[in-house]
Structure 1
Amino acid sequence: MTVIEELRTLSEKTGRRDKSSAAAKEERAAYLLLLPWIIGLVGVTAGPMLVSLYIAFTDYNLIQAPHWTGLHNISRMLSDPRLHNSLRVTFEYVVVSVPIQLIVALALAMLLDKGLRGLPLYRSVYYLPSLLGGSVAVAVLWRQIFGDHGLVNQLLGHLGIENAPAWVSDPSTALGTLIVLNVWTFGAPMVIFLAGLRQIPAIYYEAAKVDGASKWRQLRSITLPLLSPIIFFNLVLQIIHAFQAFTQAFVVSSGTGGPSDSTMFYTLYLYQVGFNNFQMGYAAAMAWLLLLIVAALTALNFYAARFWVFYDN
């Protein structure tokens, strides 16, 4: 081997070592930057989840140390009538409010997509309820509006309807007021729908008009199929959000879930068990049941999506 070849070989080895050293430094820097997120994941998310999984199999009152009880909390859930009622109320709330909310959001998004004047203002106004819908102030306001002598009954009285129901105090209508409140917070899915509508090429509608397709036909054959990924996205998010509903029922019912447990959401009952009755073991088991229910419904939605969600390739 000549001197030149030896120098070239030595240079290549040195270059590889420099590259390896630089890559190692970049890797260490990346892990250093990710360290706060990793600490948060372990300390705030993964760690508490594992602890709650352990507590779900114990009897724990926040004062004494957890006592292992095995499957006792699970068997208790199977025979707890209030838990079963809270599941029924929550499922009814989700099944009714989420489709109506998405229909209203899509209808308004299509209206705003027509190029109205002052569109940014309309978007802000319609999005505002989504920012405030889960707040205590709006829940208190909702209770005043639908109270025995609230704004709704006052308006009905002016129309000659004297025997209006006590909306939030009547078991047959109390849940309906919370469904209306959830439908009213349509702003977030509406903005997402509006963004999706803006991505549909106008040439599709122009071709449909040339072929004589009606507005209804354009909706069924163009808008809904091309918007199906956005509909699916909003559907999954709003189902998860509806299962987590708590503040509205807590404030409107003063934390009781009444009248007659008609607004006893699952999360509200979980709160009562954990923080009113200090049965943290049972509450943790309920929390994991809710996680499994939401995960199962999400997986079912992803499975069903293959039959109705279409992606424009």
Structure 2
Amino acid sequence: MHTQQQAASENSSMMTGRKTKMKVHPERKKEERAFWIFASPWIIGFILFTGGPMVASLWLSFTNYDVVSSPRFTGLDNFISLFQDTLFFKSLSVTTYYVVLAVPFTIVLSLLLAVLLNQKIKGLFIFRTLFYAPSIVSGVSIAFLWSWLLNPDFGFVNNVLHEWFGLAGLGWFTDAKLVVPSMVLMQLTSLGGTMVIFLASLQSLPKDLYEAADIDGAGSFRKFFNITMPLISPVILFNTIMAIISSFQIFTQAYVITKGGPEWNSYFYVYYLFDTAFSQFRMGYASAQAWILFLLIFALTMLSLTLSKRYVHYEYTSRK
């Protein structure tokens, strides 16, 4: 009887549009306060150092601003000028060329290294450390190291080519055709982060699938392409997107070694943006460049996610 009355009361409240407010347990409120307290440093940091500057950059992209004088609103003039700028298209084409070479190079080599470092051999932790360590070194230091290794006059690589193979030295950073491939080659010392992510995904795969494949007589290549690749496909997608984003933002190598040369063939997009902002002090124009880059990367990320629906498998859940 009491239950029927309670149900009738609830139905009556719903019919009349009145809502009953549920009491929140004090412990739940305490946890919620603790969450906001611990999250507040990140939220404040994001607003001050990321969100705020992004909003300011969006506003400046519609202005003529040279740091000295106040910003003057010019509407879409900066964006119109960009699409009439030959250097804009040159830097974008050079960067795209680098991305097309660097992303497959990074993903394939990182995955191969992860597979090799996932084997059971003695002293494996030493090899893992050696392959990962260069990725935490400063980008400027790595650039100076490669500028020495690939120096056309006294570089180690050219000396090896000459002494061992009798080949003439190559102008790695002075030849217009070789400068971008040389920048891609420098990725060899930056594979550590991507490799570790692949290695973690490989170590989480269930062994029973491989045992079943062994019983069926499957070889190593068949197991890799029919079991390993489908299971780690979400990780491949993640690393590919991150590689695209980082490759479009290449800057340090060109700034330290080539200064955009030779013949503008290493004048990457971010280098052009940096030059516009901090050499020419055209902050409005540079802000427009930054937002074009953001939209381009965002579009490529969405395209990658859309195309991946046919090849990426998410239904796997790890089993112990």
Equivalent in the alignment of 1:138: 142
Question: Aligned partners of 1:308 and 1:18: how far apart in 2?
Answer: 47
Equivalent in the alignment of 2:239: 234
Say whether 1:275 aligns with 2:282. no
> What amino acid sits opposite 1:269 in the alignment?
Y
User: Compared with structure 1, are the counterparts of its residues 233 and 162 closer, same or farther at alpha carbon in structure 2 (3 Å cutoff)?
Assistant: closer
Pick which of 198-207 and 258-267 moved more. 198-207
- TM-score w.r.t. structure 2 length? 0.86
User: Compared with structure 1, are the counterparts of its residues 63 and 117 closer, same or farther at alpha carbon in structure 2 (3 Å cutoff)?
Assistant: same
User: Compared with structure 1, are the counterparts of its residues 161 and 37 closer, same or farther at alpha carbon in structure 2 (3 Å cutoff)?
Assistant: same
Question: Aligned partners of 2:63 and 2:193: how far apart in 1?
Answer: 40
Conservation of the 8 A alpha-carbon contact between 2:64 and 2:71: yes
1:306 to 300, 303, 309: 309
Q: Deviations over 1:65-94 (max 9, x none)?
A: 111111111111111111111111111111
Q: Which runs of 4+ in 1 moved over 4 A?
A: 16-30
Which structure 2 residues correspond to residues 130-279 of structure 1 after superposition, within 5 A?
130-132=135-137, 135-149=139-153, 150-159=155-164, 161=166, 163-253=168-258, 256-279=259-282
User: Compared with structure 1, are the counterparts of its residues 158 and 23 closer, same or farther at alpha carbon in structure 2 (3 Å cutoff)?
Assistant: closer
Question: Aligned partners of 1:286 and 1:271: how far apart in 2?
Answer: 10
SS in 2 for 1:172: coil
Question: Aligned partners of 1:231 and 1:210: how far apart in 2?
Answer: 28
TM-fit CA distance, 1:213: 1.5
Question: Aligned partners of 1:160 and 1:110: how far apart in 2?
Answer: 31
Question: Aligned partners of 2:75 and 2:67: how far apart in 1?
Answer: 18
User: Compared with structure 1, are the counterparts of its residues 62 and 118 closer, same or farther at alpha carbon in structure 2 (3 Å cutoff)?
Assistant: same
Pick which of 66-75 and 199-208 moved more. 199-208
Conservation of the 8 A alpha-carbon contact between 1:101 and 1:184: no
- TM-score w.r.t. structure 1 length? 0.88
> What amino acid sits opposite 2:222 in the alignment?
R
Equivalent in the alignment of 1:11: none
Conservation of the 8 A alpha-carbon contact between 2:101 and 2:181: no
User: Compared with structure 1, are the counterparts of its residues 29 and 258 closer, same or farther at alpha carbon in structure 2 (3 Å cutoff)?
Assistant: same
Count of residues in correspondence between the two structures = 295
User: Compared with structure 1, are the counterparts of its residues 29 and 214 closer, same or farther at alpha carbon in structure 2 (3 Å cutoff)?
Assistant: closer
Pick which of 274-283 and 237-246 moved more. 237-246
> What amino acid sits opposite 1:138 in the alignment?
I
Q: Which runs of 5+ in 1 are unaligned?
A: 1-15
TM-fit CA distance, 1:128: 1.4
Report sequence identity in percent: 39
Question: Aligned partners of 1:190 and 1:17: how far apart in 2?
Answer: 49
Q: Deviations over 1:10-54 (max 9, x none)?
A: xxxxxx999677766665554444433332222211111111101
